[in-house]
Amino acid sequence: MFDNKLDFKQTFERRLLEKYGRSVNDAHPLEKYDILGEMVRDYANYDWRNTREELISTGKKQLIYFSMEFLIGRLLVNNMQNLGIYQIAKDGLKEMGIDIHELEECESDAGLGNGGLGRLAACFLDSIASTGYPGSGNTIRYEYGFFRQLIEHGRQFELPDQWLTNGFVFEVRKPKHSVEVKFGGNVETYLKDNGEFGMRTVNATCVRAVPYDVAVVGYRNGVANTLRLWSAEPSDVNLPKNTSFEEYLGQLKELCHGLYPDDSTEHGRLLRLRQQYFLVSSGLQSIIRAHLRKFKTLNNLSEHYVIQLNDTHPILAIPELMRLMMDEHGYGWDEAWKQVTTLFAYTNHTIMAEALERWPIHFIQQICPRCYMIIEEINRRFNAYMNDINVDPNKRYAMQIIKDGQVHMTNLAIVSSFSINGVAKLHTEILKKETFKEFYELFPEKFNNKTNGVTHRRWLVYANPNLANLISKKIGNSWITDMEHKIIDFKPYAEDEKVQKEFLNIKKENKLRLKAYVKEHNGIDIDENSIFDVQIKRLHAYKRQLMNVFHIMYLYQRMKEDKTFRIYPRTFIFGAKAAPSYYYAKEIIKLILAVADVVNNDEEISKYMKVVFIENYGVSSAEIIIPAADVSEQISTASKEASGTSNMKLMMNGAITLGTMDGANIEIAQFAGKENCVTFGLTSEEVISYYANGGYNPWDIYNNDIRVKKILDSLFNGPWTDGRPDRFRSIFDEIMYKNDTYFILKDFDAYVKAQEQIEQKYNDRNNWAKSCLINIATSGYFSSDRTIREYVKDIWHLDPLDTKQQ
């Protein structure tokens, strides 16, 4: 521990000498970063120990959050700020001639996630700790992350994300807490000592799961929870007899190699399932061991733990807990089922059919045969229950866990969990009325909504300190710990012209920072006085980055044809990764890059418009982009986006939402007021009606809207084709011959008008600033602190830790 600047400097110099044998002047920046990181980690260890000891002594109920990804970004600044030691460290380093920002840049973004799902999980962990509740995350320690995106030759390439090259200073390896995970083998019946028959798995391949723990530091409240990362190592007691050690090592390496293996091959899909089973079995065994150490029984497991399953990936936890309780610890079906059905809660994140996981039966039989037997029995008993209450046969079929040779994981979760929640009001209503209509009729008490949120500390307080200081100067800093209720006090200042001017100056400073970043990384000069129009999210057809680039193509064509038509200068900024096997998404990236190349190199047009694609978009680049954004593009097809979270981050930083009435956009418009957003396009009801009843043909729009025809024709003959007529044929075919699945052409005219409305609003600088400030002041609902308090109240039922405010 260090209490002041002098203590910090002495400790830093001593530890640098002890570990690296170097003085401050001789040390490499990576060595200095490593020492600083260790000091921050060790500073948090006191809170970590106190939190752990309180849980052990009191037996308070705690949350375990299973997620395949946690997109935590960098931890150095976040942890120093949360611990309240950032300024001490900054000043101490400065006196030693070290720029803290140079050390901050030594840290890699942790390769533990990809998109909104992982970032949400990371925000939740921050808020759970900062609101003072006991809760830990469980995921896999991916050695090479998702992938590092390289943009070259006008397309995306995928490289390994070597985020662990210089180690991960914030993790602590805990070999004493390792467990054995069994893959495959066969199930046999045996006679137990008490004369009863039992089941056990034999001839399995055993893997040693070793946890690496990372402290999750609460905001100045003495709480430090845990993110546990599981890594696969060779078993030290059960090495395989029927395969070579080299082949065995290769299988282990695959398990933790990367997030979301390529699912276009059977090998890749099996590997995804193996990862899922590895995660849940490791986590559950660890929970059981800790619980038995204190309570000597599992009959009260659900009184002391609640497990949240984040999306479909960890749902194998349900049969795995049944297996562990029955086969490893001797409990009967009814005793185990009672714990399962009061322990697990499930969060659904999508209505997209392809994202509701279904696994071939033989996959599960191959990886965890006993779990498949248990799933069969859950399905049999569920069918008996439906038969007893005379459920309609068609509805019964819709709710089957096993059908058509596949295990429907979401159905398994709904049957077995005590809570099923959506992540925005519209999304939850669609789940109840459409996606899981039959289940909602059967189990209405299970369904509830928990609109997502983001941690305002990282995304506003730390990412945009000048704006945070302006807010605190006007209303004090209590909003940092009570964003939901206190930030609204800033709303009256939206009318204050002096505050408006201060806000616009802060925005310009942030835009200059982004301008420098774009110049350094993209080699493009952008105009800080232009409108920064931002769309940053995973590349998927339903998120409609394609509609955005179609609009850019339209503007380019119109300005080239009509010398009297000019727009207010606009910089269109994209950040997106396409999954390696998602061909269509990668073609859209190619189109964005091709259009950017034409626009940015056109002397006539580039004065009015630039297009920037941020390579390898992630948390750290988002922390630069979001504070600089003027316009928040949230243009998904209505009914398709469960919630979205970039919309919330951008709102908090004073960007105006340009969006469809989809996901959390609806709630943003409700809180900010529709006059402070720009909405457009089909409603979710209209989209669902078109899907159900037809009545839409994209050729009608192509033949009747000359703008649309020119855009689509330019996919064959436009300047972005570089003289290759077939270059973007696949995009044309996807739109025109697959009936424009996501209604890009149907919404295009409304989108153009919405963009014109944005320009009109922006030109009225005072009113624009007022709308931005109202967005900030009404964003309190979208703090993940609020979301967590709702989970605690309605689902988890946790008691706060007895911690002292620092």
Catalytic residue flag (residue 645): yes
Distance CA 449, CA 444 (A): 12
Tokens representing 149 are: 């995106």
Element (H, E) at 323: helix 317-323
256 three-class SS = coil
Quick check: 420 and 749 in contact, CB under 8 A? Answer: no
Q: Of 274, 640, 649, 786, which residue is the catalytic one?
A: 649
**Unique residue bearing structure tokens 């830790």:** 801
Tokens representing 87 are: 């300024």
Q: Of 543, 551, 610, 786, which residue is the catalytic one?
A: 543
CA distances, 246 to each of 241, 242, 243, 620, 800 (Å): 12, 12, 8, 38, 48
Quick check: 735 and 743 in contact, CB under 8 A? Answer: no
No. of helices (H) and no. of strands (E), the chain: 33, 23
186 three-class SS = strand
Tokens representing 717 are: 């003959």
Q: Of 274, 349, 432, 507, which residue is the catalytic one?
A: 349
Quick check: 418 and 307 in contact, CB under 8 A? Answer: no
Among the residues of 22-165, which ranges form H helices? 29-58, 76-83, 86-95, 100-104, 116-130
Catalytic residue flag (residue 294): no
In sequence order, which residues have a C-beta less than 8 Å from that of residue 644 and are 6 or more positions away? 116, 424, 452, 537, 634, 636, 662, 663, 664, 665
Q: Of 61, 432, 538, 551, which residue is the catalytic one?
A: 538
Q: Of 410, 571, 645, 787, which residue is the catalytic one?
A: 645
Q: Of 41, 537, 610, 640, which residue is the catalytic one?
A: 537
Distance CA 314, CA 336 (A): 18
Catalytic residue flag (residue 538): yes
Distance CA 153, CA 167 (A): 32
Q: How would you write 379-443 as a 3-class SS string?
A: HHHHHHHHHHCCCCHHHHHHCCCEECCEEEHHHHHHHHCCEEEECCHHHHHHHHHHHCHHHHHHC
Catalytic residue flag (residue 90): no
Catalytic residue flag (residue 61): no
Dihedral class, residue 114 (left if φ above 0, else alpha if ψ from -120 to 50, else beta): alpha
Q: Beta strands 179-183 and 205-217: pairing type?
A: antiparallel
CA distances, 103 to each of 29, 40, 90, 315 (Å): 6, 13, 10, 40
Element (H, E) at 197: strand 197-202
Catalytic residue flag (residue 551): no
Supply the residues annotated as catalytic. Answer: 349, 537-538, 543, 645, 649
